[in-house]
Structure 1
Amino acid sequence: MLGLLVTLLALPFAVLSLVLAIGALVSFAITLRVNATYPPAGPFVAVTGGRLATIQDGPADGPPIVLLHGASANASDPMEGIGRRLAARGFHVIAFDRPGFGWSDRIAGAEAAAPAVQARLIAEALANMGIGPAIVFGHSWAGSLALALALDHRERVSALVLAAPVAMPMPDRVADLPWYWRLVVQPPVAWLLSRTIGPPLAQQFLPEAARRVFTPQPENPDYPKAARATLVLRPGTLLANVQDLLGLTKALAAQAPSYGEIRIPTLVIAGEADPIVRSAEQAVPLARTIADARLVLLPGIGHMLQYVASDRVTEEIATLSDELAHAATAAPAGH
């Protein structure tokens, strides 16, 4: 892929224009096909500036749990991994397409790359739905989002489940990228590429990306269809994904100093063999930072623990819910 980008940048302007035009036509065709294959799978919720898409399951009067997906994904990812299991156990499960992903609007544009902005929109959606406080599950990138919800919208969160979370500050490596990558991630260039050659390129690399995130476990052959993985190929979602990934370093530096203020039950669960978000750099120090957080490390498990360790994750969430119910019953009247 690196060689291809360098080759494209070296093309004469007329040839490059033709390549981009062909890419735009192919991208349009990909978008039509993906939209037809995976239409909205659940109700929309109106919020200021647009609407957020959800997938819901389980009894409406069950204990609520909110599922938030990571990068390059959508609401189907956690819903098909653990959401259906939780619904079968009586939970009211609400999985959101994060802003700009799946069928949710990219409200606030590039500013929506900040977890705090996405948290504001999801908190508004939950308020409009009459949901909360709820257990909030955040996988990978959405670990930072779940934490932002707990910090800024405490009334919506009863407990946190942070799965393979990205939450702790990390180096900004954009400056270390080759010059052509630094050019590609500039906003005008990223916008152009996401609407031309981005979708067909991403389509070619999607199978390899799916294999990598499941390592060291084998990829679940049902995952691409169950998780509606190709929804990420559409231009708007590709751009949102790039913005979210590039903006996370700055956002984590801003919100991480406040983690010690969190005073709600928190489960941090991660795979010890995760090559994507290394537990020693993220889950372990995060659990030390949050008062009374419980850390669960799964030996031999990689990044997609909601699939490859779905039974264990479901049991841990059910146990946490039981503890919340017991605490509520034991609390003195008026508290």
Structure 2
Amino acid sequence: MPPAAVAAAAAAAALALGLCLAAVSGVEARPAAAGAKPHARRIAVTGGALNVVTLGPSRGGSGPPLLLLHGASGNLKDLQESIGRRLAVRHRVILVDRPGHGRSDRLGGREMSSPARQADAIAQALDALGVGRVVVVGHSWSGALATNLALDHPSHVAGLVVLSGATHPYPGGAAWYNEIAATPLLGPIFVATLVRPIGERRFEDGVASTFRPKAPPPGYLERTDAKLLLRPSEFEANAEDLVDLKPFLVRQAPRYGAIRAPTTIITSDKDDVVSPELHSRALRRQIRGSKLVVIPGVGHMPHWNATDRVVAEIEAVVAKARR
């Protein structure tokens, strides 16, 4: 995915990991009704505040609310603009910029790279909103986060959808540029001096390389505020998330058999970012009664390029959770 040279690595690779370790095609993801106007607010949690956006009815809706969690190298608008507005026609939808991403504070230091620590903060935000049980949808990196919510905060999780999710240890480690960006002392210098100037030149190429075999949809960068990633603080937080993910999954993966919430796992046979075999199929074997959906030919971002199918599968989990 990432190019070998420093010039390509600074922007292309961080986007390219789609865990990001992220993919888009076509124009299937489309705006929903005009009534799905986002309402943003900052929710105080331990260490700072999270940026939370809600769509749809403030109360009620069809079934429990939906909590949508974005992957690495991105922010909540990736899910808001693909499936969030569509789902908000019938449901209350809650989207969160993960700590250090988008417009949320990092809330702490390196310890916040842990999906478990991020899950704690998000659970606090749900309590502050007065939200009880939700159907959690976690994309890519947030496969680890969504499953952790189901394990460590089961009273908040009525249902679980893992979307091209990273859930298990994988061969190799993080790319060297993420290792540098996550290194104390050297990392801040690296991201402050190289990320912005190089990233601006290489950004679109990096996005295109991530979205193969499909092409990015028109206006994707603008619709999703994707270039927020080039801010030094966010690039560094993203690198820490990626570097620390594998050792976290080594510890968490053996626990998945304890998940009892209705679960659907969505992947693609063409996802070369997060391996369907290492992650989605393995998770299906561990969670009793879970459903595996393999969408042919859509790559790593099925919420953009197979939107109708993804929305339908999420609706099905909501229906199970409601029962």
Deviation at 1:218, TM superposition (A): 1.5
Correspondence list, 1:137-216, <5 A: 137-173=137-173, 185-216=182-213
Contact (CA 8 Å) 2:178, 2:243: kept in 1 or not? no
Distance in 1 between the 2:6 and 2:213 partners? 28
CA deviation string 1:187-242 (max 9, x = no partner)? 22112111222222222222122112322122112211111111111111000010
Report the equivalent of 1:70.
Answer: 71
RCO higher in structure (CA 8 A, sep ≥6): 2
Residue type at the aligned position of 2:124:
E
Alpha-carbon distance in structure 1 between the residues aligned to 2:180 and 2:238: 17
Asked whether the 8 Å contact 2:178–2:239 carries over to 1, the reply is no
Q: Determine the C-alpha separation between the residues in 2 that align with 1:288 and 1:98.
A: 28
Corresponding residue for residue 109 of structure 1: 109
**Deviation digits for residues 157-181 of structure 1, max 9, x if unmatched?**
111100000001123435xx77x88
Please list every run of 5 or more consecutive structure 2 residues that lacks an aligned counterpart in the other structure.
8-37
CA contact (8 A) 2:269 2:296 kept: yes
**Match of residue 9 from structure 1:** none
- Amino acid paired to 2:49: R
**In structure 2, which of residues 221, 224, 228 is the aligned counterpart of residue 227 of structure 1?**
224
Match of 2:80 in 1: 79
Distance 2:6 2:261 in 1: 48
Match of 1:242 in 2: 239
Aligned residue pair count = 288
The correspondence of residues 124-143 of structure 1 with structure 2, limited to 5 A, is 124-143=124-143
Distance, in Å, in 1 between the alignment partners of 2:107 and 2:116 is 13
Deviation at 1:103, TM superposition (A): 0.5
Higher helix share: 1
Output the aligned Cα RMSD. 1.8
- The letter of the residue matching 1:67 is L
Matches within 5 A, 1:217-296: 217-296=214-293
Measured at CA, do residues 184 and 45 of structure 1 come closer, stay the same or move farther in structure 2, by a change above 3 Å? closer
1:185: Cα distance to partner? 4.7
Q: Is the 8 A contact 2:181 2:239 kept in 1?
A: no
Identity %: 40
For residues 276-301 of structure 1, give each alpha carbon's deviation from its aligned partner in whole angstroms, at most 9, with x where no partner exists. Answer: 11212211111111111100000111
Q: Structure 1: which 5+ residue stretches go unaligned? A: 6-39, 328-335
2:44 aligned with 1:46 = yes
How has the CA–CA distance of structure 1 residues 322 and 183 changed in structure 2, closer, same or farther, with 3 Å as cutoff? closer
Q: Is the 8 A contact 1:270 1:297 kept in 2?
A: yes
Structure 1 SS opposite 2:40: coil
**Cα distance in 2 for residues equivalent to 1:4 and 1:271:** 31
Which deviates more, 187-196 or 249-258? Answer: 187-196
Q: Which residue of 1 aligns with 2:29?
A: none
Distance 1:230 1:155, change over 3 A: same
Quote the Cα distance in structure 2 between the aligned partners of 1:93 and 1:288. Answer: 29
Runs ≥4 in structure 1, deviation > 6 angstroms? none
Work out whether residues 140 and 166 of structure 1, in 8 Å CA contact, stay in contact via their aligned partners in 2.
yes
The match for 2:304 is 307
Is 1:323 the counterpart of 2:308 in the alignment?
A: no
Distance 1:49 1:191, change over 3 A: same
- 2 CA distance for matches of 1:155 and 1:58? 23
> Match of 1:12?
none
Matching of residue 55 in structure 1 with residue 53 in structure 2: yes
1:32 alignment counterpart = none
Please state whether the residue corresponding to 2:68 is helix, strand or coil: strand
Which of 136-145 and 162-171 deviates more? 162-171
> 1:41: how far off?
6.9
CA–CA separation in structure 1 for the residues paired with 2:316 and 2:297: 23
- Superposition deviation, residue 275 in structure 1: 1.6
Q: SS of 2:54's equivalent?
A: strand
